[in-house]
A and B are shown apart, each in its own frame.
Chain A
Amino acid sequence: MRYAFLDEEAKKEIRRSILKAIAIPGYIVGFASRELPVARGWGTGGLQVTLAIINEEDTLKVIDQGCDGSVNAVNIRNFIKSVTKVNTTTKTLDASIIQTRHRVPEIDLQEGQTLVYQVPMPDILETVEPNISKAKLLHANADYSKLWVLLYEDTSMYGDSRISNRYPVMVNDRYAMDPSPIPKYDTPKLNDCKALQLFGAGREKKIYAIPPYTKVEPLKFEDREFKVENFDGKACARCGSVHSFLDEVYDDEGKATYYCNDTDYCDTQKEKQGNN
């Protein structure tokens, strides 16, 4: 088996797209998405980005909705380990590459780390301009008026935007970008992040990136505050955290209990409590 599954020519092509994506933060670069032993739409974009950048010194973490133990994460982690023999971890701080689906880790990322997102819909303009070539022209002209109109309609009718996740962001004051379906809670973490962020959409054959220390702002009217999910008065039933994104879990009686969505963060909090 070839190291990291993909042939060298494929890796070079993906690497070229990654370098161009880093050079033009938020801009969508096309690439020839390869067939993998995973169906398209199940994280093949993130997987190809990870396989193109990984080497023997890396330590890999894979999360799906904040959890290292879900089926998608386990299978992707096992696959990458089987073709690279890299060390894997569930600790955010120990990982050099973190592949993620729909969450940014709760623990702050550091310089030298790379966060690889699995992206289903790479173009934020898709909802307002379904014609891809027209959308490309809008990006070229930095014409995001249709996004602003969408925001205005929501704001005028409902008082705020109705977008619950994959909230549009402006990268480096130039490109409107889809941050993948992360909750609004995670959107501010994209700004000035110390880690390199790479986004791969396998089905849509697109790669884009945010270098470390890059300005990323949610698209918002000046007189409207960007509001994130509210967990006031709620705490994780396992670690007691009141500063994390919480999952709502219902028991058979219909009673809601809350748990940290990020399992590593929850474990870390538990360890700290055990040490005290």
Chain B
Amino acid sequence: MRHPAPRLALSAAALVFACAATAAEDYVLTIKDHQFTPAELEVPAGQKFKLTVKNEDASPEEFESKTLKKEKIVPAKKQIVMPMGPLEPGSYDFVGEFHEATAKGRLIAK
């Protein structure tokens, strides 16, 4: 385990800030017309990373994945950043819960 013990709130907050600052270099999904681009995104297995989800639609969406255990609102015309991983190698399906018919995607951890 990379964490020996639960961190103090302050140092955790500092870390979150530090990570958020570098989020631009990390992995990005875009929602447009209730579809994810790219529909398949390759991410590194076994390490932490940040996943940014940009919603370019005029309506809110919810990024949801049972396998990734994520459930997060992406407000209209906004983006969210999620700390992810470390993931086991494999594929992880996700949907936009508010438009499940069209908004489907998959992370592939290698």
User: Does B associate with A?
Assistant: no
A contact set with B: CB distance below 8 Å? none
B contact set with A: CB distance below 8 Å? none
